[in-house]
């Protein structure tokens, strides 16, 4: 069980976050922990105890087990969060909430509250709906790449492609004016940077919510043909409150651009650093679907934030976990589990398909996964097709890594082409 909450925050020790020589491999310390077993005790920097799950089978089991709660508002004592930390948020999919109850932050809710909100959204993100977006996603991707080409033969792939593409798509889907991106991209980035002072993160989160509050009000006054207008004027029973709408929209906007942006940039970096894989993909574009799944597994960019609290005494991976214990599910490490994946540390775009955990599993499994897949498939294919000779414009060791962020990736990716 977890001791009483000390005044100090509960950051993870840096060795569980910082990367070693290979920017794509999870921290070596996680591999060492796996040596102790698929579920191993860890000590947080404030001295509190928690469990780290590194096994694929055990992580999948925990994601699917209703005895593990995602509700960080209800379990804030077990998680040793101060109210400020709860409000500041610790997950890319829900940067913050103005009140410590998390009105519409369904990623931090358990059934049945979670089910009520998820049900309202699930129909908007089906494979069919997302397939219908393909031609628009292609148009946007081509436009961004052609702008890069028109400006010369070097670019920062993050600023010029990987971030704008999913941002444009989620803006169109939700009915957010992309011209406002300076407001929401910066606020989202600050609120997801766990190294920044709490106050700064809180302020950024509040700005993002203010932006969303204005947007919800404008959809109420003048509905458009978009997802948010649909929710504002929908027939949910009971009706969604404005606080819920703000939280839902904030979650979708943040999740919709931060995660995929990092997969696009880090995935391109990984392909450039594995020329034989890049060549295989260029030679057979039909490999792209498999390459997307393999990059998702290999990179598993949501490297932090999938935290659960046990609601009763239970056993996981042969380990006794007490009610109230905090359990961290390491997706990057589970997706490299040698008990589950042959040659887990090898990037192999032709690897036989098998479900990975990059989108989680169970009731919270990523709502936007089909959208992310469409964006990645089209994004990688157009990049490779339209930028012949694509290569890094700096030594690989100089690419700044996002070990300070809840979604892993690169801050910049300077590239050049012929």
* 8 Å CB contact between 412 and 159: yes
CA distances 103 to 24, 53, 99, 170, 242, Å, are 36, 29, 8, 22, 9
Q: Which of 54, 191, 259, 268 binds ligand HEM (CB under 6 A)?
A: 259
165 touches ligand HEM (CB under 6 A): no
306 touches ligand HEM (CB under 6 A): yes
- Least CB distance to ligand HEM at residue 405 (A): 13
Nearer of residues 122 and 394 to ligand HEM, judged by Cβ = 122
> Which secondary-structure segment (H or E) carries 319?
strand 319-321
Find the binding residues for ligand HEM in span 42-71 (CB under 6 A): 70
Q: Which of 256, 317, 379, 409 binds ligand HEM (CB under 6 A)?
A: 256
Which residue's Cβ has the minimum distance to ligand HEM? 368
Peptide bond into 112 cis (omega under 30): yes
In the three-class reduction of DSSP (H, G, I as helix; E, B as strand; rest coil), residue 254 is classed as helix
90 touches ligand HEM (CB under 6 A): no
- Least CB distance to ligand HEM at residue 152 (A): 29
Nearer of residues 141 and 417 to ligand HEM, judged by Cβ = 141
Nearer of residues 266 and 384 to ligand HEM, judged by Cβ = 266
Site string for ligand HEM, 116-135 (x = CB under 6 A): --x-----------------
Q: Which of 55, 89, 317, 360 binds ligand HEM (CB under 6 A)?
A: 360
Q: How far apart are the first and last CA of the chain?
A: 59
Q: Using DSSP bridges, classify how beta strands 326-329 and 49-53 pair: parallel, antiparallel or unpaired.
A: parallel
- Least CB distance to ligand HEM at residue 388 (A): 26
Q: Which of 30, 232, 301, 374 binds ligand HEM (CB under 6 A)?
A: 301
Q: Which stretch binds ligand HEM (CB under 6 A): 53-61, 128-136, 343-351, 352-360?
A: 352-360
Q: Which of 39, 42, 246, 263 binds ligand HEM (CB under 6 A)?
A: 263
CA distances 238 to 140, 244, 245, Å, are 37, 12, 13
Tokens 């991707």 label which residue?
Answer: 141
- Least CB distance to ligand HEM at residue 171 (A): 12
Q: Using DSSP bridges, classify how beta strands 49-53 and 307-310 pair: parallel, antiparallel or unpaired.
A: unpaired
260 touches ligand HEM (CB under 6 A): yes
Nearer of residues 8 and 132 to ligand HEM, judged by Cβ = 132
- Least CB distance to ligand HEM at residue 181 (A): 16
Distance CA 225, CA 219 (A): 10
Q: What beta strand segments (E) does 27-79 contain?
A: 39-43, 49-53, 68-69
72 touches ligand HEM (CB under 6 A): no
Phi, psi of 328 (to 5 degrees): -100, 125
* 8 Å CB contact between 17 and 11: no
In the three-class reduction of DSSP (H, G, I as helix; E, B as strand; rest coil), residue 323 is classed as coil
Tokens 């955990």 label which residue?
Answer: 357
- Least CB distance to ligand HEM at residue 379 (A): 11
Find the binding residues for ligand HEM in span 362-401 (CB under 6 A): 364, 366-368, 371-372
Find the binding residues for ligand HEM in span 236-255 (CB under 6 A): 251-252, 255
The two structure tokens encoding residue 275 = 């020329």
Cα angle 151-155-159, degrees, rounded to a multiple of 5: 110
Q: What beta strand segments (E) does 142-186 contain?
A: 154-156
Binders of ligand HEM: how many residues, by CB under 6 A?
25
The two structure tokens encoding residue 49 = 């105890």
In the three-class reduction of DSSP (H, G, I as helix; E, B as strand; rest coil), residue 53 is classed as strand
Q: Which residues would be at the binding site for ligand HEM (CB under 6 A)? A: 70, 93, 106-107, 118, 251-252, 255-256, 259-260, 263, 301-302, 306, 331, 358-360, 364, 366-368, 371-372
């Amino acid at each position: 069980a977890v001791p009483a909450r000390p005044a100090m925050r509960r950051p993870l020790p840096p060795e569980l976050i910082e990367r070693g020589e290979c920017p794509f491999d999870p921290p070596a310390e996680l591999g060492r922990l796996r040596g102790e077993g698929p579920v191993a005790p860890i000590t947080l920097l404030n001295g509190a105890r928690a469990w780290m799950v590194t096994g694929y089978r055990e992580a999948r089991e925990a994601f699917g087990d209703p005895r593990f709660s995602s509700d960080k508002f209800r379990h804030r004592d077990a998680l040793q969060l101060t109210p400020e930390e709860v409000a500041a948020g610790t997950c890319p999919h829900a940067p913050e909430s103005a009140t410590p109850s998390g009105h519409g932050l369904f990623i931090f809710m358990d059934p049945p509250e979670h089910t009520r909100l998820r049900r309202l959204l699930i129909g908007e993100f089906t494979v069919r709906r997302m397939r219908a977006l393909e031609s628009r996603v292609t148009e946007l991707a081509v436009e961004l790449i052609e702008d890069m080409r028109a400006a010369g033969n070097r670019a920062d792939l993050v600023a010029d492609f990987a971030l704008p593409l999913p941002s444009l798509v989620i803006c169109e889907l939700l009915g957010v004016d992309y011209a406002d991106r300076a407001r929401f991209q910066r606020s989202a980035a600050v609120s997801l940077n766990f190294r920044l002072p709490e106050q700064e993160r809180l302020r950024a989160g509040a700005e993002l919510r203010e932006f969303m509050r204005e947007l919800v009000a404008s959809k109420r006054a003048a509905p458009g043909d978009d997802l948010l207008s649909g929710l504002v004027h929908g027939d949910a029973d009971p009706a969604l409150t404005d606080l819920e709408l703000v939280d839902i929209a904030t979650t979708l906007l943040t999740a919709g651009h931060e995660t995929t942006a990092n997969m696009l940039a880090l995935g391109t970096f990984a392909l450039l650093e594995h020329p034989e894989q890049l060549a295989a993909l260029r030679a057979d574009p039909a490999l792209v679907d498999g390459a997307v799944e393999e990059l998702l597994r290999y990179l598993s960019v949501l490297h932090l934030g999938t935290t659960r609290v046990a609601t009763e005494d239970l056993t996981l991976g042969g380990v006794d976990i007490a009610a109230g214990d905090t359990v961290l599910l390491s997706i990057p490490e589970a997706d490299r589990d040698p008990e589950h994946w042959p040659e887990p540390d090898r990037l192999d775009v032709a690897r036989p398909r098998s479900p990975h955990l990059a989108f989680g599993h169970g009731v919270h499994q990523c709502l936007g996964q089909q959208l992310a897949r469409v964006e990645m498939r089209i994004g990688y294919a157009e990049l490779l097709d339209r930028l012949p000779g694509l290569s890094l414009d700096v030594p690989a060791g100089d690419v700044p890594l996002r070990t300070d962020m809840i979604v892993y990736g690169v801050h910049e990716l300077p590239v050049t082409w012929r």
